[in-house]
Structure 1
Amino acid sequence: MAFWRLYYHLVWATKERQPLITHDKEAELYNYIIGKADFLNSIIHAIGGIEDHIHLIASIPPSLSIADFVKNIKGSSTHFLNQNYHISNNAIIFGWQRGYGVLSLGSKQLDNAVSYVRNQKNHHSQGTAIASLEKHDDEA
């Protein structure tokens, strides 16, 4: 493969913006996503979020479209969590909302983006989240 350095800031929300990323699921979800990205020859530089959405700073190889990367991560992580946190009536307890937001980054922006994503909880609790970095769909 050719040499590549591509950086993306990705964000997507839980189904109906429900607070589904609970403390007991968060680490397992993040570790799963990192492992799945590695399987896809992609790199997760940072992952973070709050109960109703997630941010990733990722490097995705040019052989894999961003849409396919997101579809694979969202679909497989939903399946993973629903298999590991099932309830007696087999109701789906975890899901992602349709769509996602993506911004491309230059190498000079990488450190700031990583810091922003790793500190999501603080940004949201202190009101310092940046609206343009929180968009995950076409809504205003």
Structure 2
Amino acid sequence: MSTDYEWRTGRTCRFKLHYHLVFVPKYRREVFTAPMLERLEAVYRETCEQMGGELLEFNGEIDHVHLLAVCPPKVALSNFIGKLKGKSAYVLRQEFWPEVEKKLWGEQFWSPSYCVVSCGGAPLEIIEAYIKDQRRPPSEQSAIHSQRIRKQP
């Protein structure tokens, strides 16, 4: 996987939005097997592409999964996550339910909560300094003062 990610372009914007997502099954049950994780990766990749995003990295353990994904700014992050969790739960129920039903009960596969961390780009300290160092327009009073100085011979 490359560490230099391209800027992406929308109709009216340029963006570089990377999110580290963590999903856990209901009650953090140990439900995942290697074939389930392989299938989840394919489902997540397809779903991200359908929503204009991209799955950059995926992996999981027996009780949770991690995704590194790009989500375009026109898609609300909560909708993006809802689609990822909803479609993956549907597929897991369809294809792996005999294995899963022994460890989970009820209608829900995923915990309703999730972890999301924005990542990539410069450290926050550098961004803060960059913002502080912007050339702020002078106040009206200082603009008048500098015009008087310029007019003097």
Say whether the fold is shared (TM-score over 0.5): yes
Q: CA RMSD in A?
A: 2.2
1:1-140 equivalences under 5 Å are 1=11, 2-87=13-98, 95-107=109-121
**Offset, 1:36:** 0.8
CA displacement, residues 27-75 of structure 1 (integer Å, 9 cap, x when unaligned): 0111111111111111111111101111111110000111111111001
Kept after mapping to 1: 8 A contact 2:43/2:87: no
Matched to 1:98, the amino acid is: P
Matched to 1:9, the amino acid is: H
Aligned residue pairs, count: 107
Bigger radius of gyration among the two: 2
Q: Which structure is higher in RCO with an 8 Å CA cutoff and minimum separation 6?
A: 1
What secondary structure is seen at the aligned counterpart in 1 of 2:14?
coil
Matched to 1:13, the amino acid is: V
What secondary structure is seen at the aligned counterpart in 2 of 1:97?
coil
* Structure-2-length-normalised TM-score: 0.63
Unmatched runs of 5 consecutive residues or more in structure 1: 110-140
List structure 1 runs of 4+ shifted beyond 4 angstroms: 90-94
Unmatched runs of 5 consecutive residues or more in structure 2: 1-10, 124-153
